[in-house]
Amino acid sequence: MVPVPARRALLAAALGLAERRGLPRVHGNGCLLTPPRPPRAALLSPDPCSPLPTATAAARLSSGAGGQPEADSPNRDTAMLRHLLLKLRATGPVTVAEYMREALTNPGQGYYTRRGDIGDSGDFITSPEISQVFGELIGIWYISEWIAMGKPKAFQLVELGPGRGTLTDDILRVFNQLASLLSKCDVSIHLVEVSPKLSEIQALMLTGGKTQSDPEENSAYMKGVSKTGIPIFWYTHIQDVPPGYSFYLAHEFFDALPIHKFQRTEKGWREVLVDIDTEVPDQLRFVLSPSSTPATENFIQPEEMRDHVEVCPEAGVIIQRLACRIEKDGGAALVADYGHNGTKTDTFRGFRNHKLHHVLRAPGTADLTADVDFSYLRNMTQGRTATLGPIKQREFLKNMGIDLRLQVLLQNSRDTATREQLLRSYDMLMNPKKMGDCFNFFALLPHHRLVHPDKKHKPESKSPQLPVAGFGELLLK
Ligand code: SAH
């Protein structure tokens, strides 16, 4: 175990890393990114964290209009819409979860399968795309935990839903900067990505496009080697990733998983379903199940106080898998997303071209998303791991030393435009009205990680626990 002051020194070294690369992200043509567009959460007003403050679920159900802004949402006939209309005619209404799964990840026409346009010119922008400082600080978090856990000889970094691969790329740069520290550690990267299109973009970003499809030796569908020589594997499901000591990362992943929606009625809980609108040709609408469904029986707690509830069982299954793996093989998981602690009601929304998009219009052409219920995730770990958070993004990044990093970058940048861009990106990540308050960090750690070594032998010891970076202040000297 490296003593804490030594760890701080190492982190300080990492924070001062690669000044030139710390500048705002540069496109291939060498132009600085134009000011980032508002992220998904920041588009919503007046409360950026409450997407539908005025429309009640009931009103939206009766109107079938989704109660959402119609901005840039033509009722375009899409291949996905035709597919869904055929399916609904054959089977009757489907759950919102089934609709969301089809619209996002249908192998032929799903949004992520075909479009998945993340970034300034796409449908939505995420923190790693706004500033590489974000990924650098997360890279430092993993190194810090690796040191705190006694520098295991090998670890897998497993990212769920890596988007364009930007976050892993920024993390790998930190690992490379600290190569002397990691020289005796066998590091490998494992990406869980359902979209063939996005996995190609990730491969280009991380390996320069040099990959091998259908590798024989394991369940990965593709493999390659990073620009810095680290093996990278791609999988469709988390259960395909080989067991072993692993650090997991899920940034804006859980919000993309299918949710079930439930509405309290005079007759009891009913599930919200998606059906064909009988009054408007080739259009979809929400309806309520005529009676309770297996989902209403299983997912609504007797003590539930809200009138409208969203549950994401797939997120529950995945977090349970992560907790089991961490309990058995060691490691940690960092989840960052917008969300709540079991308090919000109707958060289902769509985004296209950086604008709110009606969730039932032109399916397959827009990102669909719902806030993550962190209390549900915590319950689903079933005590197999300890959990930390959720804490707000601005608190996590502050604790990780973002201010110090910004100062270093500002001091080293010569031109005003770069400095302004640095300040804009910082504001986007940290401002409570933008991404600072809406996004949360949540971690799973083995129970022993939160017990001070002395306490194992001397339970009466009053000495503080080792700090977990990000969730507590990390003093960088
Ligand atoms: N983490 C990235 C991208 C977020 S978008 C970022 O922050 O920029 C969601 C990502 O999850 C995309 O890569 C999408 O293709 C992937 N994804 C969505 N549903 C998935 C599923 N069921 N299994 C695996 N990946 C999924």
Mutation test residue for ligand 1: of 194, 206, 335, the one with most atoms within 8 Å of CB: 194
State the CB neighbour count (10 A cutoff) for residue 219: 13
Q: How buried is 32 (Cβ within 10 angstroms: 0-12 exposed, 13-18 middle, 19+ buried)?
A: middle
Question: What is the whole-number distance in angstroms between the Cα of residue 464 and the centre of ligand 1?
Answer: 37
Our answer on whether the CB atom of 116 is closer than 6 Å to any ligand 1 atom is: yes
For 270-322, the pLDDT digits (tens) are 999 999 999 998 899 999 999 998 899 899 999 999 999 999 999 999 999 99
pLDDT at 114 (0 to 100): 87
Q: How far does the centroid of ligand 1 lie from the alpha carbon of residue 168, in Å?
A: 13
pLDDT value, residue 414: 87
Q: Does residue 114 lie within any of the structural domains?
A: yes
Q: What are the tens digits of pLDDT across the range 328-373?
A: 999 999 999 999 999 999 999 999 999 999 999 999 999 999 999 9
Distance 256 CA to ligand 1 centre (A): 7
Contacts of 303 (CB under 8 A, 6+ apart): none
Measured between alpha carbons, how far is 352 from 368 in angstroms, rounded to an integer? 9
Alpha helices in 106-148 (DSSP H): 111-114, 127-130, 132-148
Its pTM stands at 0.88
- Pocket of ligand 1 contains residue 192 by CB under 6 Å: yes
| Position 23 in a domain | no
CATH number, domain at 150? 3.40.50.12710
Q: Which atom of ligand 1 is nearest to the CA of 161?
A: 11
Structural domain includes residue 290: no
Q: Is the CB of 254 under 6 A from ligand 1?
A: no
Tens-digit pLDDT profile for residues 4-56: 445 555 566 666 554 434 334 432 222 223 333 345 544 333 333 433 322 33
DSSP 340-375: ESS------EEEETTEEE-TTSSTTSSEEE--EEHH
> Considering its fold, how many domains does the chain have in total?
1
195 lines ligand 1 (CB under 6 A): yes
Q: What is the mean pLDDT of the chain?
A: 85
Residue 161 inside a domain? The answer is yes
307, part of any domain: no
DSSP, collapsed to helix, strand or coil, labels residue 268 as strand
- Per the listing, tokens 């005025």 go with 54
Specify the range with the lowest mean pLDDT, choosing from 9-23, 54-68, 461-475: 54-68
The answer as to whether 45 is a domain residue is no
Is residue 181 in a domain? yes
Which residues is 275 bridged to in the sheet?
Answer: 285
Please tell me the distance between residue 280's alpha carbon and the centre of ligand 1 in angstroms.
33
Average pLDDT over every residue of 246-266: 98
Residue type, 101: R
Name which of 176, 193, 180, 272 is nearest 227 in CA terms: 176
Structure-block tokens of residue 212:
């091998």
Name the residue range of residue 197's domain.
4-12+92-257+312-450
> What is the mean predicted confidence (pLDDT) over 245-249?
98
CA-nearest residue, atom 23 of ligand 1: 194
| Per-residue pLDDT tens digits for 135-170 | 999 999 999 999 999 999 999 999 999 999 999 999
- Is the distance from the beta carbon of residue 234 to the nearest atom of ligand 1 less than 6 Å? no
> Does residue 440 form part of some domain?
yes
CB distance 122 to ligand 1 below 6 Å: no
How far apart CA 427 and CA 53 sit, in angstroms, is 25
